[in-house]
Amino acid sequence: MNVLLCSINTLLKGLYNISGVEVGQHFYWQIGGFQVHAQVLITSWVVIAILLGSAIIAVRNPQTIPTDSQNFFEYVLEFIRDVSKTQIGEEYGPWVSFIGTLFLFIFVSNWSGALLPWKIIQLPHGELAAPTNDINTTVALALLTSVAYFYAGLTKKGLGYFGKYIQPTPILLPINILEDFTKPLSLSFRLFGNILADELVVVVLVSLVPLVVPIPVMLLGLFTSGIQALIFATLAAAYIGESMEGHH
């Protein structure tokens, strides 16, 4: 009996250690005079490898009568096309790859943070976690969206695109400019805040109650992680569509 209790305590202690979150600590690499967060690069490379591997499997041997795996990939593509078309309109075609890349990278990143046992791998400083758990990643994704937003508007309307800033009256010029700067900020903090909050809730529950209670919360976290990816991709598509239409 004592052996069984000791084994259970050891298991629970190990699970508790795995679920811990280290805040404010990072493992740094020096690349070309720049200091980067190595753990974010490592996990991002893993996510990219998963996506590339999935893409290779999807296009390796397409069938006229789709197999189960081909049906799944075609469903994902159709879903991304629907999101792009709904938000951007009839000119959605060139933007499907961009919106799809955002959605899939965020989705796989969030799920990798919840499903893969990153914390088993020990680093000199910090810990491995989902790439979207780092504010730098979410800011980079938001800035990419901002660049795409301006590129879409300038490509469609040329320099006349900037005329929207003085519509319907030049008095609103500062507010219209501020709105464009707050869009990437909003995207970044919305994604980062929700992912970090979900991890912190699980850590607090594991420390306060038996492990069986946080498990449903962790499953709910998988669902909300997918929703966050969808929200980010949908808003990015909406911003691009808005810039091409030329009105707010």
Q: What integer pLDDT is reported at residue 130 of this predicted model?
A: 78
Does 60 map to a domain?
no
Q: What integer pLDDT is reported at residue 132 of this predicted model?
A: 83
Instruction: Provide the H-helix boundaries in 89-134.
Output: 96-115
Label each residue of 26-76 as H, E or C.
CCEEEECCEEEEHHHHHHHHHHHHHHHHHHHHHHHCCCCCCCHHHHHHHHH
Comparing CA positions, the residue from 131, 128, 135, 125 lying closest to residue 28 is 125
Does 13 map to a domain?
no
pLDDT digits (tens, 9 = 90+) for 200-243: 666 666 666 666 665 666 677 677 778 888 888 998 898 888 88
Does 132 map to a domain?
yes
Does 21 map to a domain?
no
Q: What integer pLDDT is reported at residue 78 of this predicted model?
A: 92
Cα–Cα distance measured from residue 128 to residue 16, given in angstroms and rounded to the nearest whole number: 16
Does 103 map to a domain?
yes
What are all long-range contacts of 170-178, with beta carbons under 8 Å and residues at least 24 apart?
Answer: 176/248
Helix axes 135-157, 38-60, angle to 10 degrees: 60
Does 222 map to a domain?
yes
Residue 56 CB neighbours (<10 A): 9
Higher pLDDT, 41 or 81: 81
Residue 181's Cβ-count burial label (10 Å; 0-12, 13-18, 19+) is exposed
Does 49 map to a domain?
no
Q: Is the pLDDT of residue 16 over 60?
A: no
Cα–Cα distance measured from residue 150 to residue 101, given in angstroms and rounded to the nearest whole number: 18
For the chain, the domain total comes to: 1
Confirm if 118 and 40 have CB atoms less than 8 A apart: no
Domain residues for the domain of 79 are 68-247
Cα–Cα distance measured from residue 142 to residue 184, given in angstroms and rounded to the nearest whole number: 5
Higher pLDDT, 21 or 65: 65
Confirm if 104 and 51 have CB atoms less than 8 A apart: yes
One-letter identity of residue 218? M
Strand partners, 186: none
Does 34 map to a domain?
no
